[in-house]
Structure 1
Amino acid sequence: MKVLKSLVKLLFHRVVIVGVAILLQAAYFIILLSKFQEFFAFSYGILMLLSVAVVLHLINDRSNPAYKLAWIIPILTFPIFGGLFYVMFGHSHLSKRQKNEMREIGQQIFAVMPDRTPNLDRLKEENPVAGLQAQYIYRFAHAPLCRNTSTEYLPLGEIKFQRMKEELQKAQHYIFLEYFIIEEGKMWNEILEILREKAAAGVDVRVIYDDIGSMMTLPYGYDRKLESMGIKCCVFNPLVPILSTRFNNRDHRKICVIDGWVGFTGGINLADEYINAVVKHGHWKDTAILLKGEAVWNLTVMFLSLWSFLRHTQDHYESFRPHVHQPEPIVSQGYVQPFGDIPLDNEAVGETVYLNLINKAQRYVHITSPYLIIDNEMVTALSNAAKSGVDVRIITPHIADKFYVHAVTRAYYETLLEAGVRIFEYTPGFIHAKTFVVDDEYAVVGTINLDYRSLYLHFECGCWMYQTPSVLQVRDDFLLTQGKSQEITLATARNINWLQRLGRSILRAFAPLM
């Protein structure tokens, strides 16, 4: 009886219902095209011409070359259907109303961001190379370069969880949470209890979670449950049973803002595996950064801008500024620049930030990432840095969360190892941290993976730091993690059978569509 109940529950789960509906639509679409071809002889020629036109469009398009290739191969393999499938599902679609809303929100963000050009000018005088990197982030992510901000690097999910609870308990005015995954369990339940108490006490509590990210971890309509507790809630890009690629654009950010002057970001979602309360793929290694001071405004604006888009409302931004509720000024070392990246502006901010760090490195680049599914630009940058004598090291998981993604990650090892890049796999389990540390001067801690989804399709965020105490903490944590990891040699990378090599090659070709 228990097995039967579980089976019935699975069959009627929203994921199954939506998946079956989408598959039926795809099948119907293919059958319809086949019938269309039978009745109209000229349709074959029209569809072929359409496929040729789509291929020519892709060749001249500004999108990533690997993404183009991943589409061109199936289009040329199935020329009758391929072009039409790309026209219908090959890129994200925004309605005219949505585009206008996003444009207006972008203008509002620019208007409310403070003038931090003195910080940029000062950094350029201290270090022109660092100044140019910060200037790029300011220009294309509308994220000011900040000082007067303390940073605390949090090397494990358990530490972030404890620090987050401590800061949430102190909230007096507002709490903003934006997370890709929320799951009922120890971590979320303890946080939720604090949120419920704070909302009852009059604190403005708001939550955004991604629908696909939380689809297997939260019941349908969970936002209404939170609203009944006095917690305002928005679900990002709700999944509906319609065949469309607009669901590729997910909210992968992890943001917590408390009273405008305390903020968290990093790789850690609100689920129990992130604090090792449950074991999914061995020990879960993840990281976060805690900010206090003026740089938290960048995170606040990221949250409020998306909230305005989802809720179709406008907030008075001035009341949320850091200095409004900050008890006393914060003076700290270095520069801090939290930034966001969105998939709708044709500017791959996250990837460019990473490339700038790699290309300007003089001594070392140390990277942790759960995925290593990178385009030619990133492969070239990492390889050239290593060939030039820069100590390039990357730590990836040893235990995979998705076997096919891990296979693609390993498909890049041989090329990078041949160039002199050192690669390590975190043998205790799964490393979900997304960190860069360079030359004891720069670090980035955030949500941006080294894969196509993070770099091109998702809403992401990160924190760029220059000469803050946390930079050396990120370095030390990398070295500690490396000590628990197995180095992959070129011989090991090459020691695979022909079937594995073939499978990895195929997966690598279609990696941008995964």
Structure 2
Amino acid sequence: MDSTFLANLSWSLAVLVHAAIVITALIVIPRGRKPTAAMAWILLIVVLPGVGVVLYLVIGSVRLPAKRRAEQARIDAIIRDRVQANGLEETAAEADWPRWFQRVVQQNENLTALPASWGNSASLYGDYQASIDAMAAEIDTAERFVHVEFFIVAWDDTTRGFFAAMERAVARGVTVRLLADYVSTRRLGNCKATLAELDRIGVTWAWMLPVMPFKGKYQRPDLRNHRKIVVVDGLVAFMGSQNLVSRDYDSEKNIKRGLKWQELMTRLTGPVVASVNAVFLSDWLIETGDDLSATEQLSPAAIGAGETAAGGVTPGAAAGGATAGALTGGSPAAAASAAAATAASDYDGLLCQVVPSGPGYDTENNLRLFLSLIYGATEKVILTSPYFVPDEAMVYAITSACQRGLEVQLFVSEIGDQFMVWHAQRSYYTALLEAGVRIFLYPAPFILHSKHFSIDDDVAVIGSSNMDIRSFSLNSEVSLMVCGASFVAGMREVEQGYRDAGRELTLEEWRREPAKATFLDGLMRLTSALN
């Protein structure tokens, strides 16, 4: 056969195959996907069809399997029924809040089934070891159960006290349950030793989102459970940004660079603890099939018990309890290692609402919460996020706040631990600085891993969620919305610790960035849209 004919035939077939792939992509990819993400996928498939198709087949779905989503919906329905049976669904309507804030509370409950509740207390912990020690001390008081859920769990010098407290609890007859993210925990070099220790001390543990295709457990492998939760006897809870691992994450690469993580956790008491526990119970049921809600002391029916909104404080009013001076901070030199240190006392009389989010839900619960609060702000918006790769809606909300005359600040790390994310984050600095956002850089070798923000002087959010596309769409997260001027005053001291430790990035300085670096920033920004 003529070689020219074969060559032409091969080219023709290649063109037809490529055209078929592109047409299929144009039909399939845009369904239920944001335009920017759809365009990024289509561009990749047009330029590199083979690579693009394989990647899409592996990580193209942003939702968990239908069975998991259905189970989450069923659990939410149970919680919603019990909340309504206890007459707690009118909490938001009864409150003397600004109308916009009532709507945020209502939105959160509509999306997650978890109501807001009054009568809560909270403490802030910015010291890495102190927060782990505080959790261990609380476990030592447990009489019935301890629930532990972390993205990363490791048995090392930093966490030995926590593991020892779990061992003592088990020895007293306390049931200790632990959930750990499968991929992230197994990635650690000491994972086998960690699991062996859990087995030795008698902890009942399970993986979250295991990637075990031969056992029928599989979903997009980078859909992870990123939550950090500890609940003791349904009376005390901890949540925030910190994982159960050494401050350098037991990573040779991090140790070589001298990297240390800076975190912020909160200790909670009051009716909100039942909501935190409900998040754990939901994850435990989904992962193990073990329904604990029939046990009275674990029942989500307790959610919202305690004070209702009637007689509560309004945003802007003092929430009672501790004053703004409850946090103790060191000198600016010491602030880099422990910004805002550890809370000395509780902030009381707080309204709190837990907002879980993730690919098990139909929409991005955390993104909707963040956007609603930023648009409701009237004076200031102060954001802290280690991985800041916002979507268009978030960028517009933040820059619109500046254009409304608000004070807007963003705290991020001066250096990054993840090359692609760090460069994608930097690609937003020009637009933010030009809009009037003040950007503060937390100094090397620390990674500012805290995840929180405050609105005006009376509303704050703290939890596990970054302000990036991964946390909005791909990770299971949990956030806590707090209404209380005393709590926000405490967070203001944490923020001041960040300022004292770091420095402000100006527009003039940023415009002197070398072209090579800004080119990488833009390139990584394009890849971040592939979700």
| TM-score interval (norm. to shorter) | 0.7 to 0.9
Report the secondary structure of 1:353's partner residue.
helix
Q: How much has 1:220 moved relative to structure 2?
A: 4.1
Could you tell me which of 205, 208, 220 is aligned with 1:233? Answer: 205
Counterpart-to-counterpart distance in 2, 1:380 and 1:324: 39
| Structure 2 partner of 1:251 | 225
Could you tell me which of 241, 252, 265 is aligned with 1:267? Answer: 241
TM-score (norm 2): 0.82
Aligned pair in 2 of structure 1 residues 468, 152: CA closer, same or farther (>3 Å)?
A: farther
Alignment of 1:180-219 (within 5 A): 180-217=151-188, 218-219=190-191
Counterpart-to-counterpart distance in 2, 1:87 and 1:278: 36
| Structure 1 partner of 2:457 | 440
1:47–1:83: 8 Å Cα contact kept in structure 2? no
Note if 1:178 corresponds to 2:152. Answer: no
Alignment of 1:72-91 (within 5 A): 72-79=42-49, 82-83=52-53, 85-87=55-57, 89-91=59-61
| Structure 1 partner of 2:327 | none
Q: How much has 1:371 moved relative to structure 2?
A: 1.2
Alignment of 1:124-203 (within 5 A): 125-203=96-174
**Which amino acid in 2 is paired with 1:195?**
M
| Structure 2 partner of 1:122 | 94
Counterpart-to-counterpart distance in 2, 1:263 and 1:198: 16
| Structure 1 partner of 2:447 | 430
Provide Cα deviations, 1:220-241, integer angstroms capped at 9, x if missing partner: 4854652343210001123458
Alignment of 1:94-493 (within 5 A): 94-95=64-65, 97-113=67-83, 115-123=87-95, 125-217=96-188, 218-220=190-192, 222-223=194-195, 225-240=197-212, 246-273=220-247, 281-321=258-298, 332-428=348-444, 429-467=446-484, 469-493=486-510
2:279–2:356: 8 Å Cα contact kept in structure 1? yes
2:68–2:360: 8 Å Cα contact kept in structure 1? no
Q: How much has 1:102 moved relative to structure 2?
A: 3.6
Provide Cα deviations, 1:99-151, integer angstroms capped at 9, x if missing partner: 5434433333333445423421232x332222111111111122210112111
Aligned pair in 2 of structure 1 residues 325, 490: CA closer, same or farther (>3 Å)?
A: closer
Q: How much has 1:325 moved relative to structure 2?
A: 11
1:177–1:207: 8 Å Cα contact kept in structure 2? yes
Aligned pair in 2 of structure 1 residues 111, 46: CA closer, same or farther (>3 Å)?
A: farther
- The 10-residue stretch of structure 1 (436-445 or 280-289) with the greater mean CA deviation from structure 2: 280-289
Report the secondary structure of 2:490's partner residue.
helix
Aligned pair in 2 of structure 1 residues 89, 47: CA closer, same or farther (>3 Å)?
A: farther
1:223–1:234: 8 Å Cα contact kept in structure 2? no
User: Where does the alignment leave 5 or more consecutive residues of structure 1 unmatched?
Assistant: 1-37
Note if 1:494 corresponds to 2:465. Answer: no
2:358–2:472: 8 Å Cα contact kept in structure 1? no
| Structure 2 partner of 1:5 | none
Counterpart-to-counterpart distance in 2, 1:39 and 1:502: 37
User: Where does the alignment leave 5 or more consecutive residues of structure 2 unmatched?
Assistant: 1-8, 309-347
Aligned pair in 2 of structure 1 residues 470, 96: CA closer, same or farther (>3 Å)?
A: closer
**Which amino acid in 2 is paired with 1:86?**
Y
- The 10-residue stretch of structure 1 (390-399 or 82-91) with the greater mean CA deviation from structure 2: 82-91
Q: How much has 1:410 moved relative to structure 2?
A: 1.4
**Which amino acid in 1 is paired with 2:270?**
G
Report the secondary structure of 1:443's partner residue.
strand
- The 10-residue stretch of structure 1 (225-234 or 407-416) with the greater mean CA deviation from structure 2: 225-234
- The 10-residue stretch of structure 1 (217-226 or 464-473) with the greater mean CA deviation from structure 2: 217-226
2:227–2:478: 8 Å Cα contact kept in structure 1? yes
Cα RMSD for the two superposed structures: 3.1
Question: Where is the helix percentage greater, Structure 1 or Structure 2?
Answer: 1
Could you tell me which of 35, 42, 63 is aligned with 1:65? Answer: 35
1:119–1:146: 8 Å Cα contact kept in structure 2? yes
1:173–1:259: 8 Å Cα contact kept in structure 2? yes
2:139–2:232: 8 Å Cα contact kept in structure 1? yes
2:228–2:241: 8 Å Cα contact kept in structure 1? yes
Aligned pair in 2 of structure 1 residues 160, 95: CA closer, same or farther (>3 Å)?
A: closer
Relative contact order higher in (CA < 8 Å, ≥ 6 apart):
2
Counterpart-to-counterpart distance in 1, 2:57 and 2:306: 54
**Which amino acid in 2 is paired with 1:193?**
A
Alignment of 1:35-74 (within 5 A): 45-46=16-17, 48-59=19-30, 61-74=31-44
**Which amino acid in 1 is paired with 2:77?**
Q
Q: Figure out how many residues of one structure are paired with residues of the other and give that number.
A: 474
Aligned pair in 2 of structure 1 residues 85, 214: CA closer, same or farther (>3 Å)?
A: closer
Counterpart-to-counterpart distance in 2, 1:298 and 1:323: 7
Counterpart-to-counterpart distance in 1, 2:453 and 2:66: 38
Provide Cα deviations, 1:298-350, integer angstroms capped at 9, x if missing partner: 11111011111111122234523589999x97894231111210213231111
Provide Cα deviations, 1:158-182, integer angstroms capped at 9, x if missing partner: 3312321221111110000000011
Provide Cα deviations, 1:341-398, integer angstroms capped at 9, x if missing partner: 0213231111111111211111111111101111111111111111221100001011
Q: How much has 1:487 moved relative to structure 2?
A: 0.6
Counterpart-to-counterpart distance in 1, 2:152 and 2:59: 25
Q: How much has 1:430 moved relative to structure 2?
A: 1.4
TM-score (norm 1): 0.84
